[in-house]
Amino acid sequence: MNAGELDTRKRTAEDVPSAVRHGLRNKLAAMRNSVFYIQKSLSKMGILEHDPRVPRFLALIEAEIEEADRLLDSPSGPSPAELRTASRPEP
């Protein structure tokens, strides 16, 4: 394998995590928008006021999305300790 091929492989290996992070961020944005829509719809129907668990579960989903987004911001990705200590609100 020549130097050019090694260079190409190295660049490809560096691009993969970036592409994965970008793809995951798009998925997280879709989830964030979905939670907003669901929350708005449930509020209009009065469900949020009648079942106190629903707002807590929506808050849990939002917190998990934010935590996942924060972990993606780490330059080298999440460490095992970060994955173990990710905060989660009580449902």
Q: Helical H runs in the chain?
A: 3-45, 47-50, 53-73, 80-84
pTM metric for this prediction = 0.67
Which residue would you say has higher pLDDT here, 67 or 85?
67
Query: Span 65-74, mean pLDDT?
Result: 88
pLDDT of residue 73: 83
Question: Is residue 64 a contact partner of residue 88, using CB atoms and an 8 Å limit?
Answer: yes
Asked whether 87 and 63 are in contact (CB, 8 A), the reply is yes
